[in-house]
Structure 1
Amino acid sequence: MNLQNNFIVSAPNIMMGKPVISGTRITVELILEKLADGEKIEPKG
């Protein structure tokens, strides 16, 4: 799978190498934990 945009990135100097949303320090792990706890994703706008 080749995506033109990398929405999830990982770098050793950002959050100890954990996968994060590009341009943020929001970890994929945090998002998955929130979803597992029942939080919902609501679009902006």
Structure 2
Amino acid sequence: MNLQNNFIVSDPNIMMGKPVISGTRITVELILEKLADGEKIEPKG
């Protein structure tokens, strides 16, 4: 398994260093909150 792809990144210059989905400003925190509230993740495409 190749684990070189970093899907979750943290950069002090993006969203105050919170972990985000790479290439976006979507925080892991937001995703977990949405899932905890019962929302579902639907694949795009």
TM-score, normalized by length of structure 2? Answer: 0.90
Alpha-carbon distance in structure 1 between the residues aligned to 2:12 and 2:43: 30
Find runs of 4+ consecutive structure 1 residues off by over 3 angstroms.
none
Unaligned residue ranges in structure 1 (runs of 5+): none
Structure 2: segments with no counterpart, 5+ residues: none
**Identity over the aligned pairs, expressed in percent?**
98
Following the alignment from structure 1 to structure 2, what is the Cα–Cα distance between the partners of residues 29 and 39? 14
- Residue 4 (structure 1) shift: 1.6
RMSD across aligned positions (CA): 1.6
Give the total of aligned pairs: 45
Q: 1:3 to 1:43 in 2, by over 3 A?
A: same
